[in-house]
Structure 1
């Protein structure tokens, strides 16, 4: 295929890649402000030019042919290369600008990141932020996410980024609840208490502790399980029991004395403990808007004393 013909088909290649990613002509048409028939014709032009079938069409879904899979991978490389070119232009822009799509775990986003967004937008009037609060693994490329914050001491080697802060968890209850039900002295005492946990997986009710060289796992139970840290805090304040909370959620109520830490001599561990990293796909040129966001949050969070606890973990 000649260079000139290849250049005229680059738009069709990009459209084809988008159709594969979304699995729908209609969705691509909606995103591009076109029509499903126009998108279908675009893919058909690419198929005719290459002389191969790229998609197997049925009344319900689209499926890549064997040749289509190879072509799709090359088309994705082309789109990524074009995005790298735009990143260079952004690098040379005198002022950070454009949209940033950021995926953040729900509690971290609501209690840690969101409170700083207004100041960030005021400082950078040409940057827009789309903050997505979601407790699931996000594929940055497939879901068009620019930056992802993940709780991990060992982030994916396929991504680049930097640590922002550390999440510590602790057990909390109100003085009223403890006066009524008793204060646990050791982890095994929790078996006699109403414990408020996530309830998403069986392991959520297996609370893990360590103290010096001693490690203990306690199977807890309770009448209420809820997978939102703010809701668990509300349940604690309602004297419903003992809950696991990240320190950044509990700190204000701890400081006011409305709740107290339970088993402060023990370190409480969950899969939601550890460093919070801001990650992005590897690139030689990090756009100024991304650098601005990362540096701003790193600076703000480094001076925020409420993210780590001196009371215990």
Structure 2
């Protein structure tokens, strides 16, 4: 079996195009097509379905790709690690991040990482979905909350609470709630939930209060929710890390601060870095992981 053909097949699958794979690898499109056709003959299976407008893996092609990808990653990582010993660390890091924490946590992290590793290209996608490492081409993921058991490795970087906030103008006009049971009488800003009613759960020592919320407005991004809150549109639940500056600058005030707000059944949410357990992970992944852990250890955030 021609290993170069397997590498070219992997590039075609990742780029979803023969021409894009050609641009990445520097191998002519005709050569890539010929080598993959020969690989199919050697294996006696069809790996790709080709039309003039579409390219997709067959089921056998998908299985072959998933089974060979770990070995390819080992080879490429070994090559990269050997080169890293002689040159400045470079390469591409494909990173999945949760939406809503970009300004407060993630972009400052990436800004400082790029200062230390300017030759590393960051490709970042913000999504609420847990993308798969092999199938979706992700090297590292930053994820929130409890993580499902898997063969992946995870390190908790930081923990924070969700809190209720409002603008000073809103409180001046409508008054400050003294108990969670006062909230239904207020205008409330919630994260968008199309299918179910919203419920906020509050804890104080051994006491729990659950409040069904009828929101005045719901939005699907924390940045938009915070802007609406600062405009005086209501009381809002937000990550504490997003509100630090606004609270210090008196754009927002804390509401029901003696109560803990439970989110997903937890008093605090954790932001974790997750990556595969492959011991041949590239130097780019290893350095990003170590940088993240050290960065949050040294960052002084009052949460």
Same fold (TM over 0.5): yes
1:71 equivalent in structure 2: 64
1:293 equivalent in structure 2: 288
2:160 equivalent in structure 1: 167
- Count of matched residue positions in the alignment of Structure 1 and Structure 2: 301
Q: Deviation of residue 135 (structure 1)?
A: 2.8
Q: Deviations over 1:83-119 (max 9, x none)?
A: 3423542563464333323222222232212124343
2:248 equivalent in structure 1: 255
Give the match's secondary structure for 1:107.
coil
Give the match's secondary structure for 1:106.
coil
Q: Return 108-117 or 223-232, whichever deviates more.
A: 108-117
Q: Deviation of residue 242 (structure 1)?
A: 0.4
Contact 2:89-2:119 at 8 Å conserved across structures: yes
* Pairing partner for 2:212 from 219, 225, 234: 219
Structure 1 residues 258 and 78: alpha-carbon distance in aligned structure 2, compared to 1, 3 A threshold: closer
Q: Deviations over 1:32-62 (max 9, x none)?
A: 5667665443332212223333345567755
Query: How do 1:102-181 residues align onto structure 2 when only pairs under 5 Å count?
Result: 102-154=95-147, 156-181=149-174
| TM-score calculated relative to the size of structure 2 | 0.84
Contact 1:90-1:288 at 8 Å conserved across structures: no
Give the match's secondary structure for 2:191.
coil
5+ residue gaps, structure 2, are none
5+ residue gaps, structure 1, are 1-5, 309-313
Structure 1 residues 122 and 58: alpha-carbon distance in aligned structure 2, compared to 1, 3 A threshold: closer
Q: Deviation of residue 199 (structure 1)?
A: 0.6
Q: Deviations over 1:281-300 (max 9, x none)?
A: 11224444333333333333
Give the match's secondary structure for 2:112.
helix
Q: Deviation of residue 267 (structure 1)?
A: 1.1
2:224 equivalent in structure 1: 231
Give the match's secondary structure for 2:270.
strand
* Pairing partner for 1:82 from 75, 82, 91: 75
Rounded Cα–Cα distance in structure 1 between residues aligned with 2:48 and 2:123:
33
Structure 1 residues 117 and 61: alpha-carbon distance in aligned structure 2, compared to 1, 3 A threshold: closer
Contact 1:207-1:218 at 8 Å conserved across structures: yes
